[in-house]
Amino acid sequence: TAALALSLTGCGSQGDTKAKAAPSSESASPTPDAVDQLIEWRDGGGSETLDTFLQDLAVVDEASDPVDLGGLRDACADLTAHVETAQLEDPIPDETANNSWKLALEHFAASATACTNGAVSDSQDDFDLMASEMDIGIRHMTAVGDRIGELTPE
């Protein structure tokens, strides 16, 4: 998971200079007003929310190899708290990005639960579930960052 979490560094941040993917034919083209709303969301804390998850995932990863059960308990508690907070926040004002974000949060929640269980029981099955759910969540979060980068100018 380290490579996955680290590969997302800068996802959604304003300084991201990676090449952006071409808009997919499946994604609806937003109106200029919708793009303005997305920029407002990004600049009004959305980018920081994505960065918080990147930091959480990096801390979970650090505590995972070598396994530090106390560190994992703390990291998983932080991840759980941030998922719960993000689920209560206003949706991303782009349906495609918001759908990916909701899926990312669902998988991060499942990962955090498995992480917490594994940190208590030292169960490899829980750690495997944590890693697989985190991987899926990261893929959805990457889609969010890609969509935001695709629609918003720097």
Which tens digits make up the pLDDT trace of 28-39? 677 888 889 999
Tens of pLDDT along 112-121?
Answer: 999 999 999 9
Distances (CA, A) of 93 to 27, 96, 148: 14, 9, 10
Q: Give the Cβ contact number of residue 136 at 10 Å.
A: 17
CA separation (Å) from 16 to 47, 83, 114, 146, 147?
11, 23, 31, 10, 13
Q: Longest Cα pair distance anywhere in the chain, in angstroms?
A: 51
